[in-house]
Structure 1
Amino acid sequence: MPRVEWAALSGDEVEAVVSNLLYNEFPTATRIRPSQGDYGIDVLIPSSPNRAIFDIYQIKKFATNLGDSEKRQIKSSFRRLLIGLVRRGIPVGDWYLVMPLDPTIENRLDWFNAMPNDVIQAMFSDGELALADQEREQILNWLNHDGRIIEWKGNLFCEALASKYWFVPDYYLHGGNERVRAAVSDVAVILHRDLTLPEEHPKDATSILTPSEVADHLARLQRALDGDPHFRYGVSFDPRRPQLTAEPGLVAATQEVAPDGSCLTFKIFQRSNESLNERPIPIRLNFQVTEESFQAFELWRKYGKPVTLPAEMDANLPGGLGGKISNGTITITPADNDPHESRYRVVTPTGNVAGEVTFRMVSATGPDGTGRWLSGTDPSGAVSIDALVSATDRKFKAQFKVNDITDRDPTAAAPALEFMAALDSPNRLQVAAKYGPFFDIEQLPENREKLPDLIARFVRALAVFQTRTAEQLAIPDLSAMTIADVHRVIDSAVLIQGQVIIKTWDGFSVPSVNPGVHLDPDGHYQISILRPLRLKIAEREISVGTVETVALSAKVVTHSDGSLSILPATNNTAHERFAEEEPMPSGGELPVRWREVPRL
């Protein structure tokens, strides 16, 4: 690329080229448009990850001489910056003067090094400015901060950036804009037809390019496309149309689908945060609202709820892409997307909390500002909410939905599912911010599609089991389980929580007893049996402790082979409890203990 003739450029041209060079060098830079309140700032660049402090770049057009007039302008910019520091609260870091002119020894050693103190002393003695003592101290603290940089970046700096980012001066000064547009328009033709056929082929012949031939063309075209100082372009040719998803820096994309289903995709990525300000993308939309889509359109207009509508579009995309599109669809997503957390709970008529869940929410407001759309999910992803809040009549309409819970963490999902199981009349729904008190929304209507209590109890039971094992549990596919399997899991969790289950029994056999043990066939006994508590979920089996079953009234029948039959005596009632302190013997045997009960 030829050297930039800085002296021949206007002030606007110098500022446009230098600022775009800075954007490419520092993608997080922000440009301050000229105004009476710009405080002598052209470009802000964050100097800390949290954007608490900004380095200031002041751009000047001076390329041939630094006389008294030019020096006054530089001093004025520096003075306005210090006023912005103390009276506007601008978090100023270091200060750089950028212009395509290298300093002379006299300008560097004498004038520029003394310039900051000269400006500050003039400000201190300016009666009209009337700096307060606190403002003076703030200016001096900034100037004397350890490592403070006040630097003149001249022609060598500008030329180095222009060489590194050659496409910036090419785009603004040497017709690069038209070359980018031409390269984009040629890509579709070159991908579909070979325009470089050997001379022996008829002039009207065409052939589909082979992958290796396409690679050569794309490499050449990519170099031309990289001449855009504001955007980068991604190009792909696929046998089927790929799904577009959000990507870092992606601002627009176009897809052209051929009759055979193959697809040419252009993706447009911004080079810096200022790309869309330097090169805005105007889009004209003409919605084709049908009777069916009118309601969805109204929900977007009033509440800001995302909507997909048939539309015609005329978009002036970078690189000459876009244009007029008919018979398309437009999806409008939230612009403000205010993320926050909200708590919802269900309260019974007696005031007890039947279920509570926290939703991670996003929200948006419609164009007419009379409503708000809320959407979110609980941390487990098991339950989602979609709500509309009207600012005119304060009405709140919410739809709660249970998502697919298979393979989700039961400990995380249990509170949300208990909330859904309680979402029914005559209970009340309450809402609160992340912190603070709850407020009543309204009495719940009858919910014929509410989550069955059995599912919520089952997931809570899995969460109880998770406290007994380090192995990560997951909610199984409930459609593959029987009601008996579900109740078995729930009953096992009840035992772990210290409750006793009362059940009936109808007898069992014991192979043998220890030598020397004699059982009276007419005796009346209580029998205790220890067994491992195992939970079977899908194809997995987990052991979490020991269960003791006590038959309250039993009799014993001894057989000739030494085996025993234990049968109910006066009743068939048994108690089950979790016997955490009782270890199971090895070898797979089930311990059976007994004690004789005196007959009344």
Structure 2
Amino acid sequence: MSPVPWVTLEPTQTETIIAVMLCRLNPSAVRIRPSQGDGGIDVIQITPDGWIVDQIKYFAETLDDSQKKQIVKSFGKVRAFAAQQGAGIAEWHLVTPLDPTKENRLDWFSTITANADFTCEWRGKAHVEGWVSEFPEVVDYYLRDGKDRLAQLVTAVATMCRLFTDSDTIAQQGTLEPADTVTGLRSVYEALNAHDPHYRYGFSVDGELVDVPPEPHQVAVLQIETTSCWVTFKVYARYDAAVLDRPVPIVFEVTAAPDSEAARIMTDFQTYGSPVVLDTGDGVSITVAADLPAGLGQLVSGQLAGFSLTALPATPFPARLQLIDAEGNELAIVRLNLQPALTNLDGSGMFIAGTEQHGVFDAELRIQRQAGTVTTKLQGHDPAGLAPDDVLPALRLLSGLHHPNQYRVVGAHGPKQGDAIAIPQPDSPSADLLVLTKFVEALSIMQQHTTEQIRVPDAAGFGAPAILELIELGQLLKDGRRQSSWTSMSTTLSPDTRLPEDGGSLLIVQQATYNLEGRQIELGRVRTILDSVRFTQSETDGKGRRHVVMVPGRSDKMTAIHEPLDVH
């Protein structure tokens, strides 16, 4: 590569090239755009020990007095700015494509930095030319034909990938084994990454469309369908500020029929920033203009079959959803795992999605900041297979989401503070939800009386009588005693049972068991007292057991008393 003509370059060219090379050396460094408030900083890296500041000057010939004054001014500005921000400076570097003379280094530079309590260094032409040797693509990109060559290389790679679908080419070359492609693919990878100072690229060829999980520094993924395979390009930033030095603008235009579901989705996105997943099958027309690095945008600009705007997977953060009555008394509270908030383009709307910690329901919060309004949508899921105690708080909350109750989202820990959100009329829970809640409540009570690990069964497999029976059993286990009336009863009594005279009372002691999906759950005993009985039928079998049919005598009152097992 020919030497860089630093003397003839425009100041902005020199400063840009050196700044990008510094960011390549230290990927966490940030380039500061020139402004009145830049604090005398061109490139800064924030470290635990303090700021590392590079002040770039385009000066390539012997410094004159005016240029020296500019450097002194910049040095004073950065010290004042750091003090104003309460920060410490660890290192300050003057960077120029000019090596200092002995006099400048020992006399002038040493004098202006003498009272600094941090390291000061003049990094001149020797440093800069060393960086040019390490990152020749930076100079090539900004001063020569690197941009055009990079775009041509990406197009060539796409063409080469499509060549693998050409049966004539393969027939001429003979059988192609996977191992035969390693050298060629490596060469393509190296060529593809030889000229872009801001981004590096990866690619793959697969028989089907593959999922591409997010990776550190990944800024774009482009997947192109060919006649027999999919070509995937992945674009990564070489340093943190690369997207500022070379932005990646993408413009979508989506046309949908008014009042369609697609139009509603797009309106939701524009208002709140909620995720979008659409394709032409949804009755939309989609076009895109993408200025992706290395000319990749040319491969996708135009009509699209579909597109999605969704948040990258992120670690959920915990919160609580609290249900309160009109007086502020807590009715139910559950924990949520929320995804980081999304916003619309102007920041006026916000969308937050999350899931109840046990997966009983999904939550979506849509917030309009200026109006101060919050709309919440909860979508329940089948709780079958979960522990009743885990499910019950969420079902109670869902059952209580009706006027005049209120709800609020509060922090994961600490006081439950925040503005409550009113539930408008005429919201009311469905009858099915209320029955499901009582069904799970009965199972939760049952769990307290047995060491058998109970899971919520599929409620759809229970008829109404079976659900009612379980709910009544749960109430008996909870209260320990239940009084009711009866009309007739048939039972089998042991041979030693003394039958009362007509009109007398009868005590029946039975094992309390419940058949839950083929498992017999032992729950202790139930003592049933019938105040007055009259026998209409009585037969004794060969083992002396008495089969009787009874109806009420003077009273139809019946008392059931539960005697629990000792599960401790």
TM-score (norm 2): 0.73
Q: Cα offset for 1:562?
A: 9.6
Q: Which amino acid aligns with 1:224?
A: A
Alpha carbons of 1:190 and 1:78: their partners in 2 closer, same or farther (altered >3 Å)? Answer: same
Spell out the pairing of 1:355-374 with structure 2 (5 A cutoff).
355-357=332-334, 359=336, 360=338, 363=341, 366=344, 373=351
Q: Cα offset for 1:484?
A: 7.2
Alignment of 1:191 with 2:177, yes or no, is no
Paired with 1:73 and 1:82, the residues of 2 have a C-alpha distance of 15
- Residue 232 of structure 1 corresponds to which residue in structure 2? 200
SS at match of 2:113: helix
Paired with 1:23 and 1:287, the residues of 2 have a C-alpha distance of 37
Q: Cα offset for 1:97?
A: 0.5
Match of 2:184 among 201, 212, 217: 217
Deviation readout 1:174-209 (Å, 9 max, x if unpaired)? 543333222211112212226999xxx999979896
- Residue 586 of structure 1 corresponds to which residue in structure 2? none
- Residue 394 of structure 2 corresponds to which residue in structure 1? 416
Paired with 2:451 and 2:133, the residues of 1 have a C-alpha distance of 59
Paired with 1:406 and 1:154, the residues of 2 have a C-alpha distance of 71
- Does the Cα contact within 8 Å between 1:346 and 1:423 map onto a contact in 2? no
Worse-matched range after superposition: 263-272 or 167-176: 167-176
Of all paired residues, the percent bearing the same amino acid is 24
Q: Cα offset for 1:242?
A: 2.4
Alpha carbons of 1:209 and 1:178: their partners in 2 closer, same or farther (altered >3 Å)? Answer: farther
Match of 1:182 among 140, 147, 152: 152
SS at match of 2:378: strand
- Does the Cα contact within 8 Å between 1:313 and 1:326 map onto a contact in 2? yes
Q: Which amino acid aligns with 1:315?
A: A
Alpha carbons of 1:283 and 1:473: their partners in 2 closer, same or farther (altered >3 Å)? Answer: same
Alignment of 1:453 with 2:450, yes or no, is no
Paired with 2:295 and 2:215, the residues of 1 have a C-alpha distance of 22
- Does the Cα contact within 8 Å between 2:499 and 2:506 map onto a contact in 1? no
Match of 2:293 among 303, 306, 318: 318
- Residue 527 of structure 2 corresponds to which residue in structure 1? 550
Alpha carbons of 1:391 and 1:154: their partners in 2 closer, same or farther (altered >3 Å)? Answer: closer
Match of 2:564 among 578, 581, 592: 578
- Does the Cα contact within 8 Å between 1:312 and 1:326 map onto a contact in 2? yes
- Residue 24 of structure 1 corresponds to which residue in structure 2? 24
SS at match of 1:33: coil
Q: Cα offset for 1:18?
A: 2.7
- Does the Cα contact within 8 Å between 2:399 and 2:429 map onto a contact in 1? no
Paired with 2:448 and 2:5, the residues of 1 have a C-alpha distance of 74
Alpha carbons of 1:26 and 1:386: their partners in 2 closer, same or farther (altered >3 Å)? Answer: same
Q: Cα offset for 1:222?
A: 0.6
Spell out the pairing of 1:283-322 with structure 2 (5 A cutoff).
283-291=250-258, 292=260, 293-307=262-276, 308=278, 310-322=285-297
Deviation readout 1:395-419 (Å, 9 max, x if unpaired)? 7654322134445565454322211
- Residue 36 of structure 2 corresponds to which residue in structure 1? 36
Paired with 1:526 and 1:547, the residues of 2 have a C-alpha distance of 17
Paired with 2:451 and 2:18, the residues of 1 have a C-alpha distance of 60
- Does the Cα contact within 8 Å between 1:506 and 1:572 map onto a contact in 2? no
- Does the Cα contact within 8 Å between 1:376 and 1:384 map onto a contact in 2? yes
Paired with 2:3 and 2:520, the residues of 1 have a C-alpha distance of 75
Alpha carbons of 1:78 and 1:485: their partners in 2 closer, same or farther (altered >3 Å)? Answer: farther
- Does the Cα contact within 8 Å between 2:480 and 2:561 map onto a contact in 1? no
SS at match of 1:276: helix
Paired with 1:164 and 1:396, the residues of 2 have a C-alpha distance of 54
Q: Which amino acid aligns with 1:444?
A: Q
Q: Cα offset for 1:93?
A: 3.6
- Does the Cα contact within 8 Å between 1:498 and 1:578 map onto a contact in 2? no
Match of 1:431 among 398, 408, 417: 408
Deviation readout 1:418-467 (Å, 9 max, x if unpaired)? 1112234x543343554425535244314474652232244455666778
- Does the Cα contact within 8 Å between 1:190 and 1:217 map onto a contact in 2? no
Match of 2:242 among 275, 295, 299: 275
SS at match of 1:444: coil
SS at match of 2:34: coil
SS at match of 1:345: strand
Alignment of 1:12 with 2:36, yes or no, is no
Q: Which amino acid aligns with 1:320?
A: G
SS at match of 1:288: strand
- Residue 138 of structure 2 corresponds to which residue in structure 1? 168
Deviation readout 1:354-377 (Å, 9 max, x if unpaired)? 444455376555557776555443
Q: Cα offset for 1:313?
A: 1.6
Q: Which amino acid aligns with 2:219?
A: V
- Which runs of no fewer than 5 residues in structure 2 stay unpaired? 279-283
- Does the Cα contact within 8 Å between 1:371 and 1:388 map onto a contact in 2? yes
Paired with 1:267 and 1:400, the residues of 2 have a C-alpha distance of 36
Paired with 1:97 and 1:173, the residues of 2 have a C-alpha distance of 25
Paired with 2:248 and 2:186, the residues of 1 have a C-alpha distance of 27
Number of equivalent positions: 533
Q: Which amino acid aligns with 1:257?
A: E
- Residue 71 of structure 2 corresponds to which residue in structure 1? 74
Alpha carbons of 1:519 and 1:465: their partners in 2 closer, same or farther (altered >3 Å)? Answer: closer
Q: Which amino acid aligns with 2:16?
A: A
